[in-house]
Amino acid sequence: MTETRYDLGSTADTWKYFWHPVCTLDELRDAKPGGKGPLQSTLLGERIAVAEVGGRTVAFQDRCPHRGVALSLGWVEEEKVRCRYHGWCYDATGAGVEVPSLEPGRPIPARARLVMYDCEVRYGLVWVRLDSSADTKIPEFPAWDDPQQRCILGEPYLWPISSGRRMENFIDVTHFPYTHQGTLGAPPNTVFPVYPVDQENGRLDWLTETFLAYNPGDDTYGPPAGPDSRMLPPAKYTVEMPFTVVLSFQWSETFATQIFMHATPIDAENCRSYWFTCHTEDGSSDQVHLQLQDMVLGEDLPVVASHLPRFIGDAQEEVSVFPDKTSILWRRWLRELAVAAEKGPEEIKRCLAQVNRESAAS
């Protein structure tokens, strides 16, 4: 790992302890004929590959130990990954099992072994963790397990900013009336209540009010559009450290929506977002929900792509105000995790276990 600076003094060594999606299951299926990969992806500056080998989805450094070429140029055959250069083969554990240039009976060097990473498929996404020693969990996604909810996987998008910048854009409601004028709000509705924030279990939870409304018969949600539109009760934000956010709306007794997003750090200044939009069955087409997200993301992109620097540098070089509270608390925890990672995985666990419940106090 390099010492390139990521958000708030963190490095790739800070975020290697956490699970990140590196592709969707569909992308893996489509990567090669046969549907098993290998597919190349980049996580924390590391070139990795994902493949389905021996009935398991596995992830490994995308580098053949023989001469260092990309294994993702090769293919999966008979439950092995074959390198395209000289045809060496590796099994699901990463062990070299075939070297075609060797005479039969000659031993395969023990160092002919892939660097393997933790890999799990969840929510139709392939999650990878480069270092398992802090025992972190794959983030929760409540709507996925809710039979009332229909979850639609959106097209992942690559933005030329850090995962931290992408997260802050997502959790910040005070940009709605300007960046999303007419879509998610408009002046003069610019002052939002600041709610207590709870910190527990590696999560930050808080409520938020927006000036959005449920517009029956229209495209279901957005700014108030008619006399029978209803302002919604506070929505709930949950951030799972470091880069997952779930936003849950209960628009009416029977209509609820949820958005899930994880901003995977490709490197210090680029992230790929994996996301779902979910809603209780209301007969609306998937297209309606995807189009609204597309519109919102299209409004965000030119703004967030202009951040200087592209990662969150020294917080002192920016000016924060009280309504930026959730982002300030999230930044503080991010910084603490960066410091903890320098001391090792035990310290990461301790840092994630912190509890501070403002809602109980108020």
Binding positions for ligand FES, rule: CB under 6 A: 64, 66-67, 69, 83, 85-88
**12/64 with CB nearer ligand FES:** 64
**65/154 with CB nearer ligand FES:** 65
Specify the DSSP element, H or E, that contains 152.
Answer: strand 149-153
At closest approach, how far in Å is the CB of 193 from Fe ion?
Answer: 19
Distances (CA, A) of 150 to 49, 75, 146, 173, 257: 30, 35, 8, 25, 9
CB hemisphere CA count around 207 (13 angstroms)? 10
Which residues lie closer than 8 Å to 299 by C-beta, 6 or more apart? 179, 180, 183
**75/170 with CB nearer Fe ion:** 170
At closest approach, how far in Å is the CB of 85 from ligand FES?
Answer: 4
Segment near Fe ion (CB under 5 A); pick from 86-94, 295-303, 313-321, 347-355: 295-303
DSSP reduced 3-state for 302: helix
At closest approach, how far in Å is the CB of 82 from ligand FES?
Answer: 8
Which amino acid, 256? Answer: A
- The answer to whether 222 and 215 are in contact (CB under 8 A) is yes
The interface partner of residue 144, options being ligand FES, Fe ion, none and the CB cut-off 5 to 8 Å by kind, is none
* Alpha-helix residue ranges (DSSP H) falling in the chain: 12-15, 25-31, 163-171, 176-179, 286-304, 325-343, 345-352, 358-361
**74/265 with CB nearer ligand FES:** 74
At closest approach, how far in Å is the CB of 131 from Fe ion?
Answer: 32
**25/58 with CB nearer ligand FES:** 58
The interface partner of residue 98, options being Fe ion, ligand FES, none and the CB cut-off 5 to 8 Å by kind, is none
Q: Which structure tokens are listed for 17? A: 């302890």
Interaction between residue 79 and Fe ion (CB under 5 A):
no
- By CB under 5 A, the residues from 248 to 287 that bind Fe ion are none
**47/175 with CB nearer Fe ion:** 175
At closest approach, how far in Å is the CB of 243 from ligand FES?
Answer: 33
Interaction between residue 294 and Fe ion (CB under 5 A):
no
At closest approach, how far in Å is the CB of 101 from ligand FES?
Answer: 9
**80/180 with CB nearer ligand FES:** 80
DSSP reduced 3-state for 39: strand
At closest approach, how far in Å is the CB of 114 from ligand FES?
Answer: 11
- By CB under 5 A, the residues from 299 to 318 that bind Fe ion are 300
Please classify residue 49 by burial: count the beta carbons closer than 10 Å to its beta carbon, then call 0-12 exposed, 13-18 middle and 19+ buried.
Answer: buried
C-alpha 275/C-alpha 336 separation (Å) is: 26
- The answer to whether 253 and 152 are in contact (CB under 8 A) is no
DSSP reduced 3-state for 68: coil
Segment near Fe ion (CB under 5 A); pick from 73-81, 84-92, 156-164, 297-305: 297-305
The interface partner of residue 300, options being Fe ion, ligand FES, none and the CB cut-off 5 to 8 Å by kind, is Fe ion
Contact residues toward Fe ion (CB under 5 A) are 300
